[in-house]
Structure 1
Amino acid sequence: MSSWADAADEEPHAQVVAPDPGFKESDPPPPGFSASDEGAHNPSLIEAQAGSGSGSGSAAGAGVEDGVDKPDIALKSEGLQEEEGEEVQAEVRGDAESIYKAAETFEDLGLSKELLEGLYSGMKFQAPSKIQARTLPLILSPPYSNIVAQGHNGSGKTTCFTLSMLSRVDVGENCPQALCICPTRELAMQNYKVMLKMAQYTSITSKCTASEEYGGGGRGAGVEKAGASINEQVIIGTPGTLKNWITSGRKPPLDVTNLKILVFDEADQMLDANNFKDMSLRIIKAIEDKKNKAKGAPPLQILLFSATFSDVVKEFTSRVVGNDAHRIWLPASKLSLDVIKQYRVVCPREEDKVDVLKERIFPLAERLGQCIIFVRTRPAARHLHNELANEGHKCTSIHGDQSFQERDQVVKEFRDGTTKILIATNVMARGFDVSTVTLVVNYEPPTVNGDGQTPDPETYMHRIGRSGRFGRKGAAFNLVTEHTKQVDVLGAISGHFQREVKDVPFDDDDAFEEVLKEAGLA
């Protein structure tokens, strides 16, 4: 399957910004820093998105093996999720530390009354989050320095860079002034909706390469007409289409001469060699070349925002933003291994795992809170869903064969508490938080790209991190079949983290009750 990033894959959408009342602000995926020093970095988190753009295609691309999903970074937590006592850390260059103080209110930022109204009335915000308070004064004040910002899921990053783009726009100039690049269409559309809501009281114009009005668009959608040009002030989209808009033809449709601010959302993915690093660099070079040839072009401010940065990507960011960029981050959330009790259940046969769920874990999980069960493949998700539903268990499942609309409905039902048990492939492994999840079950231990062979400690950490969020206790059960590779994989993961995973006999009801009490969940 060829990468969708190599094609102009969305339809353009131009309009004066208008409200979207049904949308809630949220921020990008997985919590904490990359686990590059704790476990192997899962090389490719984003897979090609197939389909005609009708919105009914697969929601997540296939992995190495057919039916294996990649994590979907467009699945986010709802609302602000700040942990008590967490403090922003910063490496601020020059004398900016003494000049730019953290903002206590949005009024401290010198925003227009239209943007303030959008924040208070449209977004229902009361005050800046911690990362917003520390980062926005540095972004919005001359000399408009480059920024590398890292914060966990729900820390307020989306609002931070969206407000930064809108604040830099001169509404009197009908030309592109702010550009945001996202690794997936879904994330581009989510960010676009946040921008629409925040800017609904302004006259700022916008375009998104992933507009839902045009079904996500197709190759070269809407910009292939001779002489067509893009004059909207804020542009949000994916790298493939944006590269074509910026570089195609003698007169590319997107003139970047007057760009003031360039944002990379999920910058770790955009700058990772396994994902979009080369394309990101080509876009930056094309913008710089265009500006160097023009007289009086404004300098370009680059903002890199992400929930994680691997060590390799951290080193590479200096090539993109220079060594004088300010760096702001929230410390990694110490969720997984400290507050979550982990258990191993060795089953004689693969089919015994269903009995463990139905006869031992689920009766307890129903009264303890919500539960997520991770399986390796889409067929496994469907099969387990049918098995449990036939036994009368109230459950649902989410995987890459579902349409975006179907997955949205599943997520809504789980967030609303309509369903207690969610069966998920790796599409749900990162960036999705529901505070009432207290139990996670690994139906199989995670492996790199779902190959069933290579232990994946980082995905394991993110999976079990769906429970025990924000200081709450949680438990994780790992089901493995004896005399199979699953036992070795889990053993390698346990050894990697140097943490004991306690054994629970697969047919001992009392033992399950005891360990759940031990975890504070019974």
Structure 2
Amino acid sequence: MSDLASRISQPAPAQGEAQQDNDSRLQENSYDVEVQLSDLQQDTDNPLGSAHTFEELGLPAEVLKGLSAMRFQKPSKVQEKALPLMLADPPRNMIAQSQSGTGKTAAFVTTVLSRVDHSKPTQPQALLLAPSRELARQIEMVIGHIGQFLPNLAVAAAIPSSIPRDGRVDKSIVVGTPGTVMDLIRRRQFDVSQLRVLVIDEADNMLDQQGLGDQCTRVKNMLPKNIQILLFSATFPDKVMKYAMTFAPNANMIKLKVQELTVKGISQMYMDCPSESDKYDILCKLYGLMNIGSSIIFVKTRESATQIQQRMTNDGHKVSVLHGAYEGSARDALLEEFRTGKSKVLITTNVLARGIDVSTVSMVINYDIPMKGVGDSMHDTETYLHRIGRTGRFGRVGVSITFISDKKSFDALNAIAHDLEIDLVALKPDDWDETEAQVQRVIKSSRAQADFVPSGGAA
């Protein structure tokens, strides 16, 4: 395993090395935002530039007040480039690739709140799609925070079991999952005739997966032809980008350079476990460190998630489990317990890998390395990046620990490290004192900086 060992980095950053910008609640690393204007935009006499303050954008006063209440004092780099383009008239499509923690959720929520005519609260005018009910609920929460001062803010959740068969979608802003939205439109419970803007979050996943991709396309084909389409994601593989450009034609584009995608505030580590069966014992040894903040353990299947949770509970550890087999209301309750700190260690599948913001998460454990392809034949760099992005939020630092136990998992992690051009810190299963010291150094540094707990998401 010499190749991976050669990528071992220096010890984790000392306390205070990753300070939060006092003027913004976002992590603002030194990255460049590349803007590519559509042909239509380039034909204009005065291409739009950047907005260095929210006031320059001509936002409704109530939205400005909401942004201030959330401690967005100035636009992030992504927001200052994207918002003028998204708010321009006539409306233009946008494809935006930006890592978690850079303000993309707030960017498209601000656009939606500015596009909607709030004097018509019962007429659907904006549709926001997400891959899971958890992310849809989180976007709904951010809309509520930024739009809290709008007198007629009206938001509906179009997720499984949320709207009865005889009910109607009668709110101006609708946040939902593709399958449920498609069914509601087909059953004529959702009048889409006045929709002005369509937002697709986690667009790489939404447009790539056969099921979700097909559903998103069918939903789009049911909507007005002149609707503004905004596609957002932390990653856009080449083949998905090609499809995105046909899904959102003549779109303006903003993106970060590939090597700048990795969340800089995360100390990425790996544990070389002697065997697959040893992974569980090492996980239990890490339990004390998991409870310093909050932690998420990612596993491959629902079955293994449940089995590990039951086994850890029987061994005296307090852990929760959340995956797609749970009913919607139970999933909402489990995530709320985790978000509020009643539950501090959560075992899950990839259902929580994308977009979920819980500010107290200081550790992510990849119990199983994310894989894709027939028979899990290929490493999944994008899912790895989304998973570890659940920690290191809001300018803090965090830890990700990936377990390897055989040649296949070693090769997969080595390929991910190569793709992302990252160094990995080696943790030794036979030197637990040093392992604890390395991890605690990072986590305690993160807690020392946690003087502000955000009130809403900033994915």
Q: Specify whether residues 426 and 450 from structure 1 end up closer, same or farther in structure 2 by C-alpha distance, changes over 3 A only.
A: farther
Change (3 A) 1:411 1:138: same
Distance in 1, Cα, partners of 2:76 & 2:228: 22
In 2: Cα distance, 1:513 partner to 1:110 partner: 56
Q: Matches of residues 61-72 of structure 1 in structure 2 within 5 Å?
A: none
Q: Quick one: structure 1 residues 374 and 97, their matched pair in 2 at CA, closer, same or farther if it must change by over 3 Å?
A: farther
Which of 266, 270, 279 is 2:202 aligned to?
A: 266
Distance in 2 (alpha carbons) for counterparts of 1:471 and 1:207: 31
The alpha carbon displacement at 1:411 in A equals 1.7
Cα distance per residue 1:351-385 (max 9 Å; x no partner): x4444445x5556x379866544444445444444
Compute the displacement of 1:107 (Å): 1.5
Please give the alpha-carbon distance, in whole angstroms, between the structure 2 residues aligned to 1:367 and 1:159.
30
Structure 2 vs 1, CA of residues 462 and 183 (structure 1 numbering), >3 Å: closer, same or farther?
closer
Q: Which amino acid aligns with 1:238?
A: T
Does the CA contact (< 8 Å) of 2:113 and 2:147 recur in 1?
A: yes
| Local SS of the residue matching 1:217 | coil
Does 2:87 correspond to 1:140?
Answer: yes
For 1:438 and 1:170, the matched residues in 2 are separated by 40
* Contact 1:443-1:478 at 8 Å conserved across structures: yes
SS of the residue corresponding to residue 319 of structure 1 reads helix
Q: 1:408 Cα shift? A: 1.9
Separation (CA, whole Å) in 2 of partners of 1:491 and 1:275: 30
Indicate how the Cα distance of structure 1 residues 387 and 119 shifts in structure 2: closer, same or farther if over 3 A, else same: same
2:125 touches 2:196 (CA, 8 Å); kept in 1? yes
Alignment check: 8 A CA contact 1:475 1:516 kept: no
Aligned-pair Cα RMSD in Å: 4.1
User: What amino acid does structure 2 have at the position aligned with 1:239?
Assistant: P
Separation in structure 1 between the aligned mates of residue 140 and residue 340 of structure 2, nearest angstrom: 24
**Deviation sequence 1:31-75 (CA, Å, 0-9, x none):** xxxxxxxxxxxxxxxxxxxxxxxxxxxxxxxxxxxxxxxxxxxxx
Asked whether 1:276 is paired with 2:212, we answer yes
Residues 86 and 94, structure 2, Cα contact 8 Å, conserved in 1: yes
Aligned equivalents of 1:117, 1:473: Cα separation in 2:
31
Instruction: Name the SS for the 1:275 alignment partner.
Output: helix
Corresponding residue number in structure 2 for 1:87:
32
Alignment-derived partner of residue 319 in structure 1: 246
**1:60-110 deviation per Cα after TM superposition (whole angstroms, max 9, x unaligned):** xxxxxxxxxxxxxxxxxxx95423323322112416695423222221111
Residue pair 1:92, 1:326 contacting (<8 A) in 2 also:
yes
Distance (whole Å) between structure 1 residues aligned to residue 347 and residue 244 of structure 2: 37
Amino acid at match of 1:157: K
**In the alignment, which residue of structure 1 is the partner of 2:254?**
328
Name the counterpart of 2:339.
Answer: 412
| Among 287, 296, 300, the residue aligned to 2:227 | 300
AA aligned to 1:306 is S
Q: Deviations over 1:244-271 (max 9, x none)?
A: 45455xxx45444443322223322332
Residue of structure 1 in register with 2:54 after alignment = 106
Is this contact kept in 1: 2:322–2:331, CA < 8 A? no
Kindly report which structure 2 residues correspond to 1:45-64, keeping only aligned pairs within 5 A, or say none: none
Deviation of 1:405 after TM superposition, in Å, equals: 4.1
Partner letter of residue 68 of structure 2? Y
Q: How far does the alpha carbon of each residue in 1:460-482 deviate from its partner, in whole angstroms, 9 at most, with x for none? A: 555456567768474625253xx
For 1:381-420, what aligned pairs fall within 5 Å after superposition? 381-389=305-313, 392-393=316-317, 395-400=318-323, 401=325, 403-412=330-339, 414=341, 419=344
Cα distance in structure 1, aligned partners of 2:64 and 2:215: 35
Evaluate the alpha carbon distance shift between residue 489 and residue 198 of structure 1 in structure 2; reply closer, same or farther with a 3 A threshold.
same
Q: What is the 5 A alignment of 1:250-265?
A: 252=188, 254-265=190-201
Q: CA deviation at 1:326?
A: 0.8
- TM-score under structure 2 length normalisation: 0.71
Q: Secondary structure at the match of 2:319?
A: strand
Question: Which has the greater radius of gyration?
Answer: 1
Q: Is structure 2 residue 99 aligned with structure 1 residue 160?
A: no
Q: Does 1:340 align with 2:276?
A: no
The answer to whether the aligner puts 1:489 opposite 2:414 as a matched pair is: no
Greater shift, 166-175 or 130-139, is seen at: 166-175
Q: 1:238 to 1:355 in 2, by over 3 A?
A: closer
* Counterpart residue type for residue 343 of structure 1: M
SS of 2:74 mapped into structure 1? coil
Match of residue 235 from structure 1: 174
Conserved in 2, the CA contact under 8 Å of 1:438 and 1:473? yes
Between the two proteins, the alignment pairs up a number of residues equal to 403
Which amino acid is 1:222 matched to?
A: G
Q: Which amino acid aligns with 1:411?
A: F
